Amino acid sequence: MYELIYAGGEVENLIRKRYPNAVTKDASDYIHTERFECELPNVDKEDFYPWAIREGFAETCLGFSILLNSLKFPEAKEYPHKETKEKLERWITKAKETVNEYISKNEHTNH
C-alpha cells in the first residue's frame, strides 16, 4: 500500500512502530513542510485506515481524504460512491470496535 501523508515525524514514528517494514521518504516542499511518502509492504487499506482513524491521523492521508471528499458529491447513493461510502463506514466501525475492545480490556487495570 502507498500513501502520501501530510503530517510530521510524530505520525511517521507511529507508523514505523506499528509497521516496522514501512518505507518512508520525505516529500516536503516549500508549500507542504510536513509531508512524507509511505510504502507499506503487505499491508492493505482494510488494516491501515481503521488504525489511522483510531490514531487520529486518517484525514492527513491523501488517499483517505480523497475517498472521504468523494462522498460530498450528490450522487453518493450510486456506484462507485456507494461502494466508497460502505468502505469508509466499514473502516470507521472497525476502528470503533478496536477502541471499545481496548477500553474493555483496560477497565479492570485502571481501577
25 Cβ neighbours under 8 A, 6+ residues apart? 36, 37
Tell me, yes or no, whether 60 lies in a domain: yes
Provide the domain count of the chain: 1
Tell me, yes or no, whether 17 lies in a domain: yes
The per-residue pLDDT string of the chain (111 residues; one tens digit each, 9 = 90 and over) reads 999 999 999 999 999 999 999 999 999 888 888 999 999 999 999 999 999 999 999 999 999 988 887 776 555 555 566 777 788 888 888 888 877 776 677 666 554
Tell me, yes or no, whether 111 lies in a domain: no
Whole-number Å distance between alpha carbons of 24 and 85: 29
Cell of 27: 516529500
91 Cβ neighbours under 8 A, 6+ residues apart? 45, 46, 49, 50, 53
Tell me, yes or no, whether 76 lies in a domain: yes
Tell me, yes or no, whether 93 lies in a domain: yes
Tell me, yes or no, whether 109 lies in a domain: no
Question: Which domain, by its residues, includes 91?
Answer: 2-100
